[in-house]
Amino acid sequence: MSNIVITGSTRGLGLAFAEKFLKLGDNVVISSRNKNLVERITQILQQKYPNQVEGIVADVSKYEDVEKLADYAISKFRYIDIWMNNAGMAPTSLKEFHELNPEKIQATIDTNILGTLYGTQIAISKMLRKGGKIYNLEGFGSNGDVRKGMQVYGTTKNSIAYITKALSREYKKTNVKICSIQPGMAVTNLIIGEPGTKFDKSAYWVFNVISDTTENIAEKLVPMMKSNTKGNKVLKYTSTLKTIWKFFTSWRFKDRFFDSEGNLKIQKIEDKILQE
């Protein structure tokens, strides 16, 4: 049994990872800046997994909130084995760069970069004595790929790879292992936008081919996170070769997650849990 802290874990990938850890018998502290979601999701998960779940409101762009999150986790479970910097945001996946709201650009940078730096720094300080593992979530742009509408998000995720590499080397001689996760493209709000948002019809099929559900991603990656003993390691959900093969057999994925109008056909994990 391990003690897990996951930022941004009231929906999407973070929530899927949290529930997978819980199913494996681990203790999990979930968090996000949305007070109502934290309270509701925590309540539901506590009913399903008694004595394993705690929740606290935390905005990762605020150092004091991240510090409070770590202290809260330790007060409930005594120590932290795995810290996952998952919280992330994108200003939009549709607008062009010159149309972006400067405040949303700032919020994306603060959440994705500062949030990861704050979380990693605080987690290291809590883990130096006993040891532990820190996982930073990469995303589109971390390997240098470029796509219209993802300039800010891609820039922040490109920095995650550097942050992880630099800090894993700095703490190589300690018992704190710093790694990153490449989850691939998950069907979350980061790619589907806010409720009611539809894709360009010419692009929807791509998401059917390369995307996967948050549950499937967590199902594969959580056991890898638990068993991993090395620092500076990148845990990948899929490989480049598998992705290329998917495009060669793209007919198999027609309308898998989105119909020809770009409408989402499946239910997101947060909606499933909130209906329980």
Is position 263 within any domain? Answer: no
The dihedral through the CA atoms of 254, 259, 264, 267 has a sign that is negative
Model confidence over 43-89: pLDDT tens digits? 999 999 999 999 999 999 999 999 999 999 999 999 999 999 999 88
Q: Two tokens at 170?
A: 């700095």
Looking at residue 155, its pLDDT comes to: 85
Range of lowest pLDDT (64-73, 111-120, 202-211, 233-242): 202-211
Between 140 and 243, residue with greater pLDDT? 243
Is position 139 within any domain? Answer: yes
Please count the residues of the chain.
Answer: 276
Looking at residue 146, its pLDDT comes to: 63
**What are the residues whose beta carbons fall under 8 Å from the beta carbon of 137, sequence distance 6 or more?**
13, 84, 85, 86, 88, 160, 180, 181, 183
The upper half-sphere exposure of residue 215, i.e. CA atoms within 13 Å in the direction of its Cβ, equals 9
Instruction: Tokens 């490109």: give the residue.
Output: 158
Number of domains, the chain: 1
Looking at residue 241, its pLDDT comes to: 82
Long-range contacts (CB closer than 8 Å, 24 or more residues apart) made by 238-242:
238/184, 238/212
Is position 224 within any domain? Answer: yes
Is position 256 within any domain? Answer: no
Average pLDDT, the chain: 87
Cβ atoms within 10 Å, residue 33: 18
The question of whether 153 is a catalytic residue gets the answer yes
Q: Two tokens at 107?
A: 């919020």
SS3 59: coil
Is position 273 within any domain? Answer: no
Is position 203 within any domain? Answer: no
Looking at residue 94, its pLDDT comes to: 62
Looking at residue 205, its pLDDT comes to: 72
133 band by pLDDT with thresholds 50, 70 and 90: very high
Instruction: Tokens 């989850």: give the residue.
Output: 183
Range of lowest pLDDT (6-15, 150-159, 221-230): 150-159
Looking at residue 60, its pLDDT comes to: 96
Measuring CA to CA, how many Å separate 209 from each of 145, 257, 262? Answer: 17, 9, 13
Looking at residue 153, its pLDDT comes to: 80
Catalytic annotation, pick one of 49, 72, 118, 153: 153
Strand ranges, E, within 117-245: 132-137, 176-182, 185-186, 211-212, 234-236
Model confidence over 216-275: pLDDT tens digits? 999 999 999 999 999 889 999 887 787 777 777 776 777 777 777 777 777 888 888 888
Looking at residue 88, its pLDDT comes to: 86
Looking at residue 91, its pLDDT comes to: 60
Model confidence over 24-43: pLDDT tens digits? 999 999 999 999 999 999 99
Is position 245 within any domain? Answer: no
149: domain CATH number?
Answer: 3.40.50.720
Terminal-to-terminal C-alpha distance of the chain: 26
For residue 7, give its domain range: 3-192+212-238
Query: What percent of the chain clears pLDDT 70, i.e. is strictly above it?
Result: 88
